[in-house]
Amino acid sequence: MTQVMACIDGSAVSAAVCDCAAWASARLGAPLTLLHVLDQREYPAAAADFSGILGLGSRELLLHELATLDEQRNRLALEQGRLMLEAARARVLAAGFAHPQLRQRHGDLPQSLHELEGETRLLVIGRQGESAPQQQVGSQLESVIRLLHRPILVVPPHFAAPRSALFAFDGSATARKGLDLLAASPLLRGLPLHLLMVGADTAEARAALDSAHASLAAAGFAVQAQVRAGEVEPTLHAYQAEHGIDLLVMGAYGHSRIRQFFIGSTTTALLRSSSTPLLLLR
């Protein structure tokens, strides 16, 4: 059975990830897995081989000591991860949600998530990782977004259950596919939904927006739809602030101006500037 997969680490955003994942699990009626990946770059599974650079006299002793230190570091890191997962489970249980599964892996985070893709219905991940400063985006987040072909819910440091959502719709094939995913999912069912196209108010844009509006209305959503001129990022954030919208939804890697947000530095700018969760549909 596919499940909500929540990435837990030692960062401050992990509490928000727990709360968001528990909310999503309940909305979807899907089991919840709390996942901790021990970064192989910091904690390699096997000790490094320094035999080629150490002198003959002290090599064996030093190699033994280095191996022992690596083993101790890995053991402590695994125990720390286990304790983090237990604390995350306690938070989810205290909120009244079903008992989550705990998983711990050793490896590269994007690759680990890619290997678990077949088990994942929705990935919930923090905007910052353990090593990222508060206002920066985690260094591996963009790699995860590019690699995974599952919906990804990116969470800022604080989470509250959304009361409304904004879909940034551009009429592209990617956006239409995302719209179909959204219409078929119970995740946002019952929440007021806004559709916003940023760009010129042309007949073609209106036709695409009307079609999207009809699809969501047929699925039972209460929908408002608008076209607004302007630059994408400030226009989206201004609309969110104007209507008090709690969640931004976008199709990732579309063939339009929206796509520009998910290539290079503009991705980081959008994620950094958003104060609400961001649902990326693949």
Mean confidence (pLDDT) of the chain? 83
Question: Is 60 part of a structural domain of the chain?
Answer: no
Question: Is 143 part of a structural domain of the chain?
Answer: yes
HSE of 28, CA atoms in CB hemisphere, 13 A = 23
Task: Reply yes or no on whether the pLDDT at 50 is more than 50.
Answer: no
CA–CA distance, 172 with 257 (Å, rounded to integer)? 10
- What secondary structure does DSSP assign to 19-62, as a single string? HHHHHHHHHHT--EEEEEEEETTTS-SS----TTTS-TTTHHHH
Task: Reply yes or no on whether the pLDDT at 123 is more than 60.
Answer: yes
Question: Is 225 part of a structural domain of the chain?
Answer: yes
CA–CA distance, 197 with 216 (Å, rounded to integer)? 15
Q: Say if residue 24 is in the same domain as residue 147.
A: yes
pLDDT band at 270 (very low <50, low <70, confident <90, very high): low
Contacts for 32 with CB less than 8 Å, ≥ 6 apart: 3, 4, 6, 21, 22, 25, 92, 97, 98, 100, 101
Neighbouring CB atoms inside 10 A of 191's CB total 17
pLDDT band at 257 (very low <50, low <70, confident <90, very high): very low
Helices 59-94 and 14-28, packing angle to 10 deg: 50
Q: Say if residue 180 is in the same domain as residue 148.
A: no
Question: Is 49 part of a structural domain of the chain?
Answer: no
Q: Check residue 66 and give its pLDDT.
A: 63
Q: Check residue 59 and give its pLDDT.
A: 63
Question: Is 63 part of a structural domain of the chain?
Answer: no
Q: Check residue 77 and give its pLDDT.
A: 75
Q: Say if residue 135 is in the same domain as residue 17.
A: yes
Domains: count for the chain: 2
Beta strands at 278-281 and 152-155: parallel, antiparallel or unpaired: antiparallel
pLDDT band at 54 (very low <50, low <70, confident <90, very high): very low
Q: Check residue 100 and give its pLDDT.
A: 93
Task: Reply yes or no on whether the pLDDT at 168 is more than 70.
Answer: yes
pLDDT band at 75 (very low <50, low <70, confident <90, very high): confident
pLDDT band at 226 (very low <50, low <70, confident <90, very high): very high
* CATH label of the domain that carries residue 91: 3.40.50.620
pLDDT tens per residue, range 235-255? 999 999 999 999 999 876 544
CA–CA distance, 116 with 7 (Å, rounded to integer)? 12
CA–CA distance, 277 with 207 (Å, rounded to integer)? 29
CA–CA distance, 138 with 91 (Å, rounded to integer)? 23
Question: Is 272 part of a structural domain of the chain?
Answer: yes
Task: Reply yes or no on whether the pLDDT at 52 is more than 90.
Answer: no
Question: Is 139 part of a structural domain of the chain?
Answer: yes
Please give the model's pTM, rounded to 2 decimal places: 0.83
Q: Which domain holds residue 14?
A: 3-42+77-155
Q: Say if residue 100 is in the same domain as residue 146.
A: yes
Q: Which two tokens stand for residue 68?
A: 């022992």
Q: Check residue 138 and give its pLDDT.
A: 60
CA–CA distance, 267 with 282 (Å, rounded to integer)? 15
Question: Is 116 part of a structural domain of the chain?
Answer: yes
Which range of 20-24, 73-77, 272-276 scores highest in mean pLDDT? It is 20-24
pLDDT band at 210 (very low <50, low <70, confident <90, very high): very high
Q: Check residue 96 and give its pLDDT.
A: 84
CA–CA distance, 36 with 68 (Å, rounded to integer)? 24
Q: Say if residue 133 is in the same domain as residue 174.
A: no
Q: Say if residue 169 is in the same domain as residue 146.
A: no
Task: Reply yes or no on whether the pLDDT at 264 is more than 50.
Answer: no
